[in-house]
Structure 1
């Protein structure tokens, strides 16, 4: 599976990068906090999302203004600009009717688009999002907003990831060292500290509480129950504001659902049931692995490093690496995201 990257122009002449992959009914994913279309493609944090969403669907996603492959130096960072960017990408991609997916900070933009363009949408899926930004949620949330902005200003461009790691721990509390390290790097590679502050400030002022009542598209709202970035109460509020919404609470603390998260298979199942589609790619399963390969993969799925696995199983590190190489070949996964994809396959198999 490959992605095709293209460019379009927003109403204020900002160049936006968007990517398309997969085949089938289209899904448009609204841009969210910190993306880079090329860097995300082999990501241990996002690649399983891209594989699942592009299996039986055409997935269209884009880097928001100021980030990734889109123009970095922009004058306008605002909610209205984000909605106009989504409109520009949809038009450039040439899709007529489609399912719209909002993730995290992209949820409010998706709600606004749905209210303005109901004729374009077949389904609306909102994951881990909110109808009101931190500035509208009370004094404690405003203090947290200020603290996170201070962390961005202090350490965003520093080679030492200490300050950026704060976001990784919030977004991926159950993440492995590899996943957190990748997310640390993503932030620095996506945008500048100054732009990140502007984006975060604009996110804090978001308010689609009244707009949500105007949405007429059938909606699936999904939220991790122990989300540390967006409290579950915000997801519940969002679901009550939308006229035709169903709320699914996932047993997870990860704001970004990871491939080895036990709740990931349920999310994919709920999504496919809602969209009425099935995967079309036949994937080899873990039943093709040897007993020792399964033992190694089980420990990978539990978050252990190769060194820890070698010690646990009384093997050499080289032998663990050889078992993993064979596993990746059998499961047809590769690249930097191969480890996470294999772990996800193991977790899925053990859900049944």
Structure 2
């Protein structure tokens, strides 16, 4: 497994920011995706631009080769010659060479760094940290089996850890029409700690097995890295089982748990006949349509999770999912979840739990919420008037849920 040596990535803005970085006699316009040197535009290949963007985002800090591969090549296996070629092209584009290294310096066998001052200019005041998309520092930690996890913290107040679920992306979530409002609302009252599950989002794609046990170890690693002594947990969908196991194992660390769309038995356990058919069908649709938001297969998958989605919301969530994981990883996670059978752990959860669930959820039925609440020592059931497993911020149910969550966590 490759381990990331650069432990923090702090982009000046999120995906759609209008930022210009100036350094030496060059400037990078992130929004326009252009490089200028001496006032003249310089054509560079997309991966070369990404190398330069990553370097200016880390101005003065080393970017490890592993981080370079994870960000520029999305964790895919590439040869040393390919990496070297892109670095060489980046040097040439800004007027540097491998011999002089006046701008981009090589750290032998470890990585590269930009060694000239960088100035960032925001060309759109509406994107400032106080009025637009929040900035964040993305950090890395390592789980017990060596899997590398990306996490971040936003906001102030009582700590709330959002358990990693299918599928998220720490950076892209901030500008998502779905997750952006969730993050804004939660971080306005809490120190919101988020992480991408192993093998997805900005976590390293090379990871150990997907399992409930490893999910608990991952949650522990993030909580320890964020120095959370005692905190509440927000767990959606399959992450609820992980949160329950965590609370049973570490009762002194957890204050309260809020679940949304949770299930404790996977579809292949609660109804083997239809569950097996659904699991196989989803695997086929994901395999055939992943990465193409216009695919009929993927629009069917998206509509299953979010029946009342607008066209924009549907395209947004499908693009986000494709950026978060490969089709193989998505299928692996879905298959693991289909065989959850974790009812016994509920009796050992001693903290108060708010169990929120869509009444007409077509992915995991409302009966799962009733089952969970009936086996927990201290549970409150919150039915939500929606058909969406993935709840949209434009729904009345979203405000109902957030209001109940805020009151419950006070």
Coarse TM-score class (shorter-chain normalised) = 0.7 to 0.9
Q: Name the counterpart of 1:182.
A: 316
1:227-274 per-residue CA deviation (whole Å, 9 max, x = no partner) reads 111111111111111110000001011112211101111111111110
Mapped contact 1:161–1:184 kept (Cα < 8 A): no
Map 1:153-302 to 2 at 5 A: 153-158=287-292, 160-276=294-410
Q: Name the counterpart of 1:116.
A: 249
> CA separation in 1, counterparts of 2:382 and 2:143?
34
Mapped contact 2:147–2:208 kept (Cα < 8 A): no
What is the total number of aligned residue pairs between the two structures? Answer: 276
Q: For the pair shown, which has the larger CA radius of gyration, 1 or 2?
A: 2
- How many Å apart are 1:4 and its aligned residue? 2.2
1:53-110 per-residue CA deviation (whole Å, 9 max, x = no partner) reads 1011000010001101001122422221111111100000101000111111111111
> CA separation in 2, counterparts of 1:69 and 1:213?
34
Mapped contact 2:293–2:318 kept (Cα < 8 A): no
Q: Name the counterpart of 1:26.
A: 159
Q: Name the counterpart of 2:207.
A: 74
2:263 corresponds to 1:130: yes
1:137-189 per-residue CA deviation (whole Å, 9 max, x = no partner) reads 11112211111112112221457432221221012211111110011111211
**TM-score, reference length from structure 1:** 0.76
More strand by share: 2
Gaps of 5+ in 1: 277-352
> CA separation in 1, counterparts of 2:257 and 2:390?
19
Deviates more, 1:171-180 or 1:58-67: 171-180
More helix by share: 1
> CA separation in 2, counterparts of 1:8 and 1:126?
25
Map 1:318-337 to 2 at 5 A: none
CA RMSD across the alignment: 1.2
Select which of 179, 183, 188 maps to 1:50: 183
User: What is the SS of the residue equivalent to 1:200?
Assistant: helix
> CA separation in 1, counterparts of 2:198 and 2:192?
19
Q: Name the counterpart of 1:345.
A: none
2:311 corresponds to 1:152: no
- How many Å apart are 1:212 and its aligned residue? 0.7
Gaps of 5+ in 2: 1-133
